[in-house]
């Protein structure tokens, strides 16, 4: 518990900045003088319970965020992160889900048994080792080395990674992940197109498998200035989604090597593996299946409605924008139906994705049950 007034003031300051408010704006919202708020934030004046509730409401935070310790992995990240790369929104989304998952894991044995900490693999030191890690990850996910990796959001749970899709908008980070004592949590920006969401989740899986405590990734595969570690995670993600031999075979079968077949091959192969065109172009170039000029052509290719009909493509919205992992939802419902948590707590843990009427009816107690309470 954060009981120290300095710690509490720091959390208020962090939450205020995360919400993009000045001290003047927050002080007006909670009805105190700005100098009073400044003293609250530097710890020289303690907040009352009522003031803390007002601050929480004004900033859209839960009170527990102010008075409970932040998960250690996130604190570690905040201590070392580059101040030029702020990630307050995804920080908050990850932290909320970490707290929820840890609560459910503490109270539901079945969930705890299903979501175990993933095995730890060595950190790749080269692109070849990143490809090797991708092959090992496919085995872990129960996917053959040549088949397309569909339904990624469900399969990564086998590796202990729980994916949450949250629409954070175009200006937020692509994804973030946290390694927990039991399992791991990833938040993927649902504002991205489906191919990019899949690439982001694959990238976070790479971080989890090499035991990175907490990572925030802003533009996966979108920068030439990324550090070597991040480049290897990008390589891992592309290799995981586009295995080399299978990609080469499909590219050839779809006519990618013919004079006029590049566009059609790009449309069909991207649909087969469910990746975006930038990822496909990058991977084809890495495997030296196309030239630089052809890669540029692939990147600008767009799949049209006519392509979907003509080539009988499957249009799938994999990793939709507001899902919770099914195993997590099931655990919350077990806690609710066993009356370990209230209706309000269940809806809170389900994070606005369920309505009250959608919750299962609680079993009616036998009339004799009253004696368990009065005897």
237 or 182, greater pLDDT: 237
- Shortest CA distance to 18 belongs to which of 99, 74, 72, 102? 74
- The Cα–Cα gap between 112 and 128 comes to 34
Residue length, the chain? 375
Kindly report the pTM of this predicted structure. 0.83
Sign of CA dihedral 367, 372, 373, 375: positive
3-state secondary structure of 78: helix
The pLDDT value recorded for residue 216 is: 82
Per-residue pLDDT tens over the stretch 301-346: 988 888 888 777 776 666 665 579 999 999 999 999 999 999 999 9
Q: Label residue 5 by pLDDT band (50, 70, 90).
A: confident
- The Cα–Cα gap between 155 and 325 comes to 11
Is the model's pLDDT at 2 over the cut of 80? no
- Strands laid side by side in the 184-189 sheet: 161-166, 184-189, 175-179, 214-217
182 or 100, greater pLDDT: 100
DSSP assignment string, 101-120: HHHHHHH-HHHHHHSPPPPP
- Report residue 33 as tokens: 């003088």
- Phi then psi dihedrals of residue 185, to 5 deg: -120, 135
Helices (H), the chain: 5-19, 23-30, 34-42, 49-59, 63-67, 72-80, 88-107, 109-114, 127-141, 152-155, 194-209, 228-241, 244-253, 262-273, 277-286, 292-299, 305-310, 326-337, 343-349, 370-374
3-state secondary structure of 148: coil
- For residue 68, what are the contacts with CB-CB under 8 A and spacing of at least 6? 1, 2, 99
Q: Label residue 264 by pLDDT band (50, 70, 90).
A: very high
Is the model's pLDDT at 280 over the cut of 90? yes
3-state secondary structure of 179: strand
Sign of CA dihedral 314, 315, 319, 325: negative
The pLDDT value recorded for residue 144 is: 93
* % of the chain exceeding 70 in pLDDT: 90
Mean pLDDT value of segment 75-101: 73
Per-residue pLDDT tens over the stretch 14-37: 888 877 889 999 999 999 899 999
* % of the chain exceeding 90 in pLDDT: 51
Per-residue pLDDT tens over the stretch 217-231: 877 776 666 788 888
The pLDDT value recorded for residue 83 is: 46
DSSP class of residue 276 equals: -
Mean pLDDT value of segment 177-195: 89
The pLDDT value recorded for residue 369 is: 63
Per-residue pLDDT tens over the stretch 35-81: 999 999 998 988 888 888 899 889 888 787 788 777 777 776 666 65
The pLDDT value recorded for residue 159 is: 92
Q: Label residue 84 by pLDDT band (50, 70, 90).
A: very low
The pLDDT value recorded for residue 343 is: 94
Instruction: Let me know: does 117 contact 183? Beta carbons within 8 Å.
Output: yes
The pLDDT value recorded for residue 67 is: 80
Mean pLDDT value of segment 147-166: 93
């Amino acid at each position: 518990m954060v009981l120290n007034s300095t710690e509490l003031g720091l959390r208020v300051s962090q939450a205020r900045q995360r919400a993009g408010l000045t001290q003047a704006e927050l002080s007006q919202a909670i009805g105190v003088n700005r100098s009073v708020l400044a003293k609250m934030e530097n710890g020289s004046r303690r907040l009352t319970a009522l003031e803390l509730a007002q601050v929480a409401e004004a900033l859209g935070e839960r009170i527990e965020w102010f008075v409970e310790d932040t998960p250690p992995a996130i604190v570690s990240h905040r201590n070392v992160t580059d101040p030029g790369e702020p990630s307050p929104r995804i920080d908050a989304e990850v932290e909320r889900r970490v707290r929820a998952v840890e609560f459910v894991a503490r109270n539901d044995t079945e969930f705890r048994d299903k979501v175990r900490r993933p095995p730890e693999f060595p950190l790749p030191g080269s692109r070849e080792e990143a490809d090797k890690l991708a092959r090992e990850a496919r085995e872990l996910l129960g996917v053959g080395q040549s088949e397309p990796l569909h339904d990624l959001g469900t399969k990564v749970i086998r590796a202990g990674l729980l994916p949450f899709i949250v629409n954070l908008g175009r200006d937020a980070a692509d994804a973030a992940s946290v390694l927990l004592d039991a399992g791991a949590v990833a938040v993927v920006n649902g504002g991205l197109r489906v191919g990019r969401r899949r690439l982001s989740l694959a990238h976070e899986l790479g971080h989890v498998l090499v035991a990175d405590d907490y990572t925030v990734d802003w533009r996966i595969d979108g920068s030439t200035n990324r550090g070597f570690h991040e480049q290897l995670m990008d390589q891992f993600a592309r290799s995981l989604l586009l295995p080399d031999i299978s990609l080469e075979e499909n590219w050839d079968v779809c006519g990618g090597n013919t004079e006029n077949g590049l566009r059609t091959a790009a449309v069909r192969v991207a649909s087969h593996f469910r990746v975006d065109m930038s990822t496909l172009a990058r991977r084809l170039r890495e495997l030296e299946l196309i030239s630089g000029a052809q890669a540029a052509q692939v990147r600008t290719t767009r799949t049209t409605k006519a392509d979907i009909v003509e080539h009988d493509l499957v249009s799938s919205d994999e990793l939709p924008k507001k899902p919770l992992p099914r195993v997590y939802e099931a655990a919350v419902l077990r806690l609710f139906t066993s009356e370990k948590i209230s209706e309000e707590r269940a809806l809170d843990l389900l994070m606005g994705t369920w309505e009250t009427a959608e919750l299962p009816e609680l079993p009616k107690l036998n009339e004799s049950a009253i004696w368990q309470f009065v005897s």
